[in-house]
Every structure is written in structure tokens, then in C-alpha cells.
Structure 1
């Protein structure tokens, strides 16, 4: 049996313009690649089609899939890419009706089996972690699916779930993701500009799940709890990427890389002792930061630490996540900055309960922090997030799936307008980046991140077009 995995691109939020986000930030589809690697280890023939790396018109994509002659096509989609994936599936059913269509990923897991009631081209859903479920499904040749946990299927024309799939307890039993199935890895893939010292680079995930309950986070695939790869497994994974693909820098895309202190300490020691020539970035929660951890991260090759700050308004924060005093946030960020690592802050605009005063408080607060860079997203209430259940009570929500990609305001809190949110968002970006200190920091990237500078200059015409569009 031959399985082809497809990673749809989703809506190009800049309209007719080239999507420059995929030039400056394109990470491999690790979840899909993990399932592919698991199947491959069981002797299944697999192939991958990443539409982010190779976008193409619908008919061209369908023709490419038909030429590869798969028995099964698995789509891994987010909310914003689901409808594009379904368009491909519909056309594929017309061209090759014998092909089984399976959907998984964040959107399938968060919306659930009701998708089968409205989208007839989908044959089955994989709900939850996909490795074992997908293998058992194809190994049974799609017979007896009601006895395979984690499968969404139709009974009397109605979508139902076979049973809940238990999470994989020992993640070290899984093979490394199938990087080798991406035809131009790592050349086509790149971390965000100015967030790495060397190329080639890529992302890696070393844990699953999160025990926290932030209102805006979708935990429908891996659920709550926390499971992780052992330090030895992670070190071997990093060594493999360096040895086989020449990777020189990694981004740990884990939500909670620093959650298990013992794991982080042992990994840092392994990296320091082995002198593996691979640096890395990670995401950390401020609660975990102390001088000892900072020293370990720096010594083991950590180049940048990202922190979810979200808002500078205490009352807004208390509504949506575990609260930390804003003075403590500043102190801990300074601790990381003074160690010599770069510091990136992650913020949201348009959270339920925010008004103009709260957003301006966030902007002013961000300007006081020792941040090298920020990423500001537009709050999006995803179906699997706790806040989704009551979101319509807290403002105006336009549930347009293709636009739900964190770069569009699909939700407007009570008392605000979409136009005013856009103005405040633009002001946030402008005031942060149009400062001498930030300009000087980017000037230093000539020698700190030369690959970023070259990529920036090579794509300068597209950047200028985008800037002109923003001004209009």
C-alpha cells in the first residue's frame, strides 16, 4: 500500500501578492513527517507533498497526486488550510475515486467527527496522535475501523468516533521525522529571519502536550499532560540532522521546552560535553527562568529564547493565562539578555476583554522590555481552545476558517472595531521596530546572522512591494 501525505498551504493573506512569509519562515511539517516515518518503519511506502514549500494551482496539485498513484492520501491541516485541503480532496475523488482520503491535524481534532457530516469527500478522520492510528487503519485495509481507537468514520451516514486513542507514553519509541522525504530539505526551509546565526537550520519538537490551561491555546491533538523525549534521544536527533543534512542551528518548537528541569539540565550537559556544532533557540516560560538555568542554556549553545508575554495589561493577563507580575517579567528577561542570548517576546492583540487602553498599555510595556525582537499575532479563537465555547459572548466573531491564521482580526472585542484594532496593531509594530536600539541590533546581524542579511537583500523587491501595499 502506498500512502501520500499532503500539507495544504491555506489562504494567501496578502491577496494577489507573493506570500513572503514562506520565504522568511518555512518550517517542515513535523507532525505529518512523524507519521510518515512511523509508517515507513513498518514497511509502508510513503511520500510527502508540502504545498508550503511548493505551492501550485489546484488542478496542478491534483494532477501531481494522481501521477504518484497513491492508495491513500492523508491530509494534515490547520483551521486556515482545511478548506484548501478539502478542495484538493474533492477534485481527487473525481479524478481517482478509488483513493482513500484521510484527514488529521489540528482542525480535524478540534472540530471532530462532525466534519464527516458536511464534507463527503473525506472517508476517515484521525483524531489525536496519528502514528499508531494511521498505521492500524491502513494495516487493517480500512476494515473493522470501529475497533481502531482514534478513527472518525460514518455509521448510517453520520460521523462517529470509534474510541479515544491513548497517547504514546514513550516518545523515544518513535523514529525521527521523515526529513529525507522532503525533496529539497533543508535548502527550501528556513527559520524566521534574524532568529538564527547559521544556515542551514530547521525546527525540531522534543515533547508533546501542555498541563497549563491558557484560554487561547488549542490542545486537541496532544491534550493536556506532558510527555517528552529523553536527553539522549534529543542529542541523537540533533546529531543526525547535523550529520545527514548539515544542520547548524535548530529551533525547539516545543510549547514547554524548559518544563522538566532535569531533562533540560541533562541535555545541556550532553551538548556541552559533546561539543556538537549545532546552536539552538527555544521557547521558555518565565516561571522556569533562574540564573542556573540561564547559564546552562547559554553554555550548551542556546542563541535565542522566546517568551510568551501576550499582554502588558495585568487584568487581561489574569483572564487568559497564569499571571506573573510585570516587574518579574522584566527582571527575568533582563537575566536572559545579560547572559548574551537574544530575547524575543510573543504578544497578542485583540484578546477578549481588551480595549484601546489595555492595548496601549501593552505597547508601552513592550517598549520598556529588553527585547531584541517581537512577534505580534492577531488573536484567533480556534475551535479547540477553551475560550472558543463562549467567544461570541465576548465580541463579534467571524468564523471564516481560511482567515483564521493569526494574521487577520476575525474576532473584535466588545467596544472595539476591526479598523481600530488594525491601527493599533500597526502602531505596535511601528513603534517597536522604528527605534535606534532595534536598528542597531539588526545592523549587528551582518556578522551575527549573515545568511539572514543575504536572504533579506535577495528578496528586497518583494519586501518593498509589501511595504507599499501596507501604506495604501
Structure 2
């Protein structure tokens, strides 16, 4: 049995020129890497083609898939990459119909079994966590696929989910992701520019699930049950990356890295005790942060903390997530700065209920916060998000999957226009970054993040072209 995983690139760009997003950030496909490691641990051969790090023209990619002669091809797709992945699967099926095609990832999990009804080139879907389901699927050997929990198959021509797969309770029982299956890892992978002090670097996920119910979040893969790796597992994971691949900095891509305070404290203490010279960034929720926790993070090598702030309008926030006082946000962010770490704010524009006035409040609020950098996305109503069911009650929604990449304005709130929203999005980024304080902060990166400076200068012509096109 041979399995080949494919991670399609999809549409992740809104510019008219060539897609240059991969000069800013390329993360390893940790989901399929975890499934591949699980298969290898049990004697199943696995390979990975990651179209972000090793892009190929689609015709060449199809030829490469067929050349490798896999028994099963597994596609991991977001909503924006799904149609590209399906086109590849269709061409594979035309040339080699004996190859089994399986789709998983965010889009398959949120759309569910009915996805099979309109896309005949897909044989099966893996719904939810993929390790156990995928293994049972590819080693079924006569077992009725419809009895495998977490697997969707066609029964009488209709897509049907067998049963929900129970969540993996002990994440430490899983092997570390199969980094060795990525050609030239970590050379082709890197964190966002200016978001790390040292290279090479990469990302880690040390928890799954989320107990919160923000209206815009798709939790269809890992659901609401919050589980996490132990401090010992995390430190050993970092040690492996450092020892085998020379990794010097990681980004914990967990939504809730700081949720379990005991775990964070034990991780920090253990990492210090081991003397592990690997720095890290993490994402934190504001309600979890205090001076004592921040000191622990700083001492153990944390360089930057990211916070989901989303909006600077209290009424907008209350409609979509647990409210946290705007003055308190500012105080917590200043605590991070005072501890000696960088702060990044994550914002969203175009949420249901927003107006030009509320977005301008968010812009003004962001400029008043002690932030080193921001990430601004366009609100995108993904099929697995709670707000999706009633989204058309709140505005105009162009559900064109390839455009649903969080940078295109696919949803326009009532009372606004697409051009208006786009102009406000551009103004947000322009006003934040065209300030002397921010310019000086990036100037200091000459010695704080030299690899970022080299990458920036190397790609400066493409970046200048983007700035002129967007008028930032």
C-alpha cells in the first residue's frame, strides 16, 4: 500500500500580477504530515507533495502523481484550494481510474458528506481528525468502508457519513509530524517576514479544538473539545527539530496555547531546564495573560505574542465573540511590551453588522495600541462557521470558493459596497505601517531579524510592485 498526499496551493492572491504570497510565509502542512507519520508508524508507505514549497504547473503535477503510482491520493484542501484540488483529482482519475482519491481538511469537514454528491472524482472524504480514519480506510482490506467512523462514502449514489469519529484523547500518543517527507525541509519553509529573530524556523501545533464559540471560526476539523500535548512532548518536539533540522525558532500555531496555565508553566520550566536554544512565538487570549505568565514566556524564549483583537468597536465584538474591554486590551498589550516581547494584533474587517464608521473606529483603535505589527483579514463566512447559516441575512455573499481566502471581499455587510470595504481595508494597512514608529521598529530588525531583512531585500522589486498596485 502506497499513499501520496497532495497539498494544493489554491487561490491565495488578489493582485493582478504573479502570486508572491510565498515570499512572506510558507508553513509546512502539519495536518497531512501528522497523518503520514501515523501511517508510517504502522507500516504504510507515505509521500507528500506540498504545492506551496514545490510548486508545479497543474499538468506536470498530475503527471508526477501518476508517475509515483500511488494506491491512494489524499488531498488536504481549504475552501479556496478545494476546486484546484478537485481538478487535479479529476485529471488523475481520467488517466489512472484505479487510484483511490480521498479528500480531507477544512473544506471537506465543513461541507460534509454531501460534497460527494456533486464531485464524482472523489471516492471518499475523511471528516474530522484524520490519523485513525485515514489509516483504517487505506488498510480496510474487505471491510465495509461505510462502517469506518469519520469516513464519508457513497451509498446508493449519495454521500453518507458512517459515524462521527471520537476525538483522540491522548495527543502524546501521536508521532511527531513527518518532516522528513518534505523535500529540502526546512530550507523552503519560513515564518512571516519580521516575525522571527533567527532562521531556520518553522511552526508547531501543540493542541487541538477550542471551547469558545466565535461566530466566524470554523471548528469542523477538531471540534470544541480542547486537548493538548504535554510539556514533555512539546519540548521533545522542539529538541528534535533543533537536533535533526537545525531549527532555531518556532511558532506555536495554536489558537489557545496559553489556555491551560499549568501546562504553560511546566513547559517554560522544562524548556529552561533543558537549556534548549530554540525561541518561539505564540498566540494568546487576552483573558489568560497576566504579568506572571508573561515573565514565564519571556524567560523561556518567547519573542512575540499574537492576539486576536478583531475589532475596535464594542458593539461589533459583542455580536461575534466573547467581549473583552477595549481599555483592558490596551493594558494587557502594554504588559507584553513591558516584558520585552513583540506584540502582533490580528484584525478583521467586513464582519456582519459593521459599517464604515465602525471600521474607522477599529483603525483608530489599532493605531492607538502598542502593537509592533498587524495582520488584517477580510471576514470570510466559511461553511463550518456558526454565522454561515444566516449569513445572507446580514449582507451580500459571493460564495465563490477560490476567492474565499480571507483577502478578497466576498461578504459585503448591509449598507456598504465592495469598493468601500476594499478602500477601508487598504487604508487600515496603509495608515498602520506608514508611521515613523513602525518604520523605526523595522529598522531595528537589521540586527533583530537579519534573515527577514535579506529576504525582504531579495524580493524588494515584487514588494514595491505590490505596494504600487494596492496604493499602500
TM-score range, shorter chain: over 0.9
What corresponds to 2:154 in structure 1? Answer: 154
SS in 2 for 1:211: coil
1:167 aligns with 2:184: no
What corresponds to 2:436 in structure 1? Answer: 436
What corresponds to 2:247 in structure 1? Answer: 247
1:79 aligns with 2:79: yes
1:141 to partner: Cα distance: 3.3
1:12 to partner: Cα distance: 4.6
What corresponds to 1:300 in structure 2? Answer: 300
Contact 2:25 2:189 in 1 (8 A): yes
Calculate the TM-score normalised by the size of structure 1.
0.99
1:16 to partner: Cα distance: 5.3
What is the distance in 2 between the residues matched to 1:142 and 1:162?
16
What corresponds to 2:364 in structure 1? Answer: 364
1:276 to partner: Cα distance: 0.5
140-149 or 217-226: bigger deviation:
140-149
What is the distance in 2 between the residues matched to 1:402 and 1:352?
21
What is the distance in 2 between the residues matched to 1:313 and 1:292?
29
- The correspondence of residues 157-306 of structure 1 with structure 2, limited to 5 A, is 157-306=157-306
Going from structure 1 to structure 2, the CA distance change for 1:142 and 1:315 (only over 3 Å counts) comes to farther
Contact 2:219 2:384 in 1 (8 A): yes
Contact 2:103 2:124 in 1 (8 A): yes
What is the distance in 1 between the residues matched to 2:320 and 2:182?
38
What is the distance in 2 between the residues matched to 1:171 and 1:307?
25
- The correspondence of residues 40-59 of structure 1 with structure 2, limited to 5 A, is 40-59=40-59
What corresponds to 2:391 in structure 1? Answer: 391
What is the distance in 2 between the residues matched to 1:168 and 1:12?
31
Calculate the TM-score normalised by the size of structure 2.
0.99
1:142 to partner: Cα distance: 6.5
SS in 1 for 2:152: strand
190-199 or 7-16: bigger deviation:
7-16
1:468 to partner: Cα distance: 2.5
Unaligned runs of 5+ in 2: none
Moved >4 Å (runs of 4+): none
1:18 to partner: Cα distance: 2.6
What is the distance in 2 between the residues matched to 1:329 and 1:186?
35
What is the distance in 2 between the residues matched to 1:234 and 1:141?
35
SS in 1 for 2:64: helix
1:125-183 Cα deviation digits (max 9, x unpaired): 00000000000011113641111100000000000011110000000000000011001
What is the distance in 2 between the residues matched to 1:169 and 1:370?
39
What is the distance in 1 between the residues matched to 2:21 and 2:278?
25
1:416 aligns with 2:416: yes
1:469 to partner: Cα distance: 2.1
SS in 2 for 1:242: helix
1:58-88 Cα deviation digits (max 9, x unpaired): 1111001011110000000000000000000
1:15 to partner: Cα distance: 5.2
Contact 2:14 2:408 in 1 (8 A): no
Contact 2:311 2:348 in 1 (8 A): yes
1:278-332 Cα deviation digits (max 9, x unpaired): 0000000000001110000000000000000000000000000000110000000
What is the distance in 2 between the residues matched to 1:181 and 1:16?
33
What is the distance in 2 between the residues matched to 1:424 and 1:24?
23
Going from structure 1 to structure 2, the CA distance change for 1:15 and 1:442 (only over 3 Å counts) comes to closer
1:57 to partner: Cα distance: 1.7
What corresponds to 1:102 in structure 2? Answer: 102
What is the distance in 2 between the residues matched to 1:141 and 1:47?
21
1:437 to partner: Cα distance: 0.3
1:2 aligns with 2:2: yes
1:445 aligns with 2:449: no
SS in 2 for 1:455: helix
Aligned residues: 472
What is the distance in 2 between the residues matched to 1:142 and 1:63?
30
1:190-246 Cα deviation digits (max 9, x unpaired): 100000000000000000000000000000000002000000000000000000000
